[in-house]
């Protein structure tokens, strides 16, 4: 690993000031489980001169519930979120998504802020510099997307533009289905961003100098059913080949509103609006689940090697809606 300066930030304000004093040359570190690999493998042409440790900022790791919903500090660990009684009680898909991340060691170090902001896992993008030179691709600013002529088995089947890397974050899928927002602080003050808008076709949409400070999850409506399913190639530690987070409000046995989000298949958590519309007013029988699952993947544009992802994602949606995952 190349050398860098390291500063323990004492407050959010100090972290923002440090980012401002080192424009484009400072990196935030939460648990460090992703950042340190990115630095060790030297995958990016720009290397930070300063790493700002967020773990030393007091009060950023709380998980609290009030009558509006959940407030989760950006530095709350995934293990704590997965085990938290209020999260498990009312926001089960978030607890399941957090519990599905990596290994116990990763969940004990990894934070919700870091999980949302982690870099993509595309193996061309992540190619280590020491093994013959990093690969400069479209996502790094120039060059092609190597997936187009290469191995596309883990790449996006929905919503991709010029980069086919998928959003790797499990918690983003669940939080998007729960209609959560993140509070972001930067040189121009605070703003609130829906998790659904936190990702663009080339990654996280934070402005330079901004950091995520909090995740706000509204309480799901009374009577809402939730389901989270994740398919991985390797058990028990792996990123999602595809996943689905669903929140369905049932009134008098019929669907009165649904939020269905797919993970692992697009550069962002993919909202399956066609499936949501298909369910409206339905009884949620097996045929409704099958038709909604078909609708969810209707826009899919697989490449040669990733057609199986469409089949997997469709089946996950069907099972999540039938409640037999």
Ligand X SMILES: Cc1cc2nc3c(=O)[nH]c(=O)nc-3n(C[C@H](O)[C@H](O)[C@H](O)COP(=O)(O)OP(=O)(O)OC[C@H]3O[C@@H](n4cnc5c(N)ncnc54)[C@H](O)[C@@H]3O)c2cc1C
**Which residues make up the interface to ligand X (CB under 6 A)?**
27-35, 54, 74, 100-102, 106, 109-111, 113-115, 117-119, 168-170, 211-212, 237-239
Rank residues 34 and 288 by Cβ distance to ligand X and give the closer one. Answer: 34
Q: What's the min distance (Å) between Cβ of 35 and ligand X?
A: 4
Smallest distance from the beta carbon of 253 to ligand X, in angstroms?
A: 35
Q: Tell me how far, at minimum, the Cβ of 108 lies from ligand X, in Å.
A: 10
Which is closer to ligand X, CB of 176 or CB of 289? 176
Closest CB to ligand X among residues 40, 301: 40
Round to whole Å and give the CA distance between 301 and 290: 20
Residue 113 or 302: the one with the smaller Cβ distance to ligand X is 113
Q: Is 189 helix (H, G, I), strand (E, B) or coil?
A: strand
Which burial class, exposed, middle or buried, applies to 130 when counting CB atoms under 10 A from its CB (0-12, 13-18, 19+)? exposed
CB of 322 to ligand X, least distance (A): 24
Report the SS3 class of residue 299: coil
Our CB check for ligand X shows the closer of 101 and 297 to be: 101
Which ranges in 77-129 belong to alpha helices (H)? 78-83, 85-90, 92-99, 104-109, 112-117
C-alpha to C-alpha distance for 201 and 288, rounded to whole angstroms: 31
Q: Which phi and psi (to 5°) does residue 18 adopt?
A: -65, -40
Nearer to ligand X (CB atom), residue 79 or residue 320: 79
Q: How far is the CB of 38 from ligand X (least distance, A)?
A: 7
Q: Phi/psi at 7 (nearest 5 deg)?
A: -125, 135
Percent helix, strand, coil in the chain, to 5, is: 30, 25, 45
The end-to-end CA distance of the chain, in Å, is 43
CB of 157 to ligand X, least distance (A): 19
| Residue 59 near residue 148 (C-beta atoms within 8 A) | no
Question: How far apart are the C-alpha atoms of 247 and 180, rounded to whole Å?
Answer: 12
Between 196 and 282, CB nearer to ligand X: 196
38, two tokens: 């990115």
Rounded Cα distance between 236 and 141, Å, is: 34
Q: Tell me the closest approach of the beta carbon of residue 139 to ligand X, in angstroms.
A: 14
Least distance (Å) between residue 241 CB and ligand X: 11
Nearest residue (CB) to ligand X, 111 versus 201: 111
Residues 6+ apart with CB under 8 A from 287: none
Closest residue to ligand X: CB criterion: 114
């Amino acid at each position: 690993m190349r050398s860098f300066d390291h500063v323990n930030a004492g407050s959010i304000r100090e972290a923002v000031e440090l980012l401002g004093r080192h424009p484009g040359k400072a990196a935030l570190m939460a648990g460090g489980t992703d950042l340190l690999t990115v630095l060790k493998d030297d995958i990016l042409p720009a290397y930070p001169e300063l790493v700002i440790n967020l773990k030393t900022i007091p009060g950023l790791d709380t998980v609290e519930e009030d009558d509006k919903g959940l407030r989760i500090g950006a530095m709350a660990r995934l293990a704590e979120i997965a085990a938290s009684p209020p999260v498990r009680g009312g926001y089960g898909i978030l607890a399941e998504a957090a519990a599905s991340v990596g290994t116990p060691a990763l969940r004990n170090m990894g934070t919700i802020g870091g999980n949302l902001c982690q870099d993509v896992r595309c193996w061309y993008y992540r190619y280590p510099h020491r093994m013959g030179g990093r690969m400069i691709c479209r996502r790094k600013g120039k060059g092609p997307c190597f997936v187009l002529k290469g191995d596309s088995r883990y790449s996006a089947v929905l919503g991709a533009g010029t980069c086919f890397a998928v959003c790797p974050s499990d918690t983003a899928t669940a939080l998007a289905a729960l209609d959560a927002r993140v509070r972001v602080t930067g040189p121009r003050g605070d703003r609130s961003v829906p998790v659904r808008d936190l990702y663009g076709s080339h990654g996280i949409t934070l402005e330079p100098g901004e950091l995520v400070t909090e995740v706000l999850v509204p309480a799901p409506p009374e009577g809402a059913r939730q389901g989270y399913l994740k398919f991985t190639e390797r058990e028990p530690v792996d990123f999602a080949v595809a996943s689905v987070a669903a929140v369905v409000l049932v009134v008098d046995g019929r669907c009165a509103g649904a939020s269905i989000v797919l993970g692992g298949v697009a550069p962002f958590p993919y909202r399956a609006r066609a499936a949501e519309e298909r369910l409206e007013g339905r009884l949620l029988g097996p045929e409704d689940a099958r038709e909604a699952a078909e609708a969810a993947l209707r826009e899919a544009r697989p490449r040669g090697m990733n057609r199986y992802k469409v089949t997997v994602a469709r089946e996950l949606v069907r099972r999540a809606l039938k409640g037999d995952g």
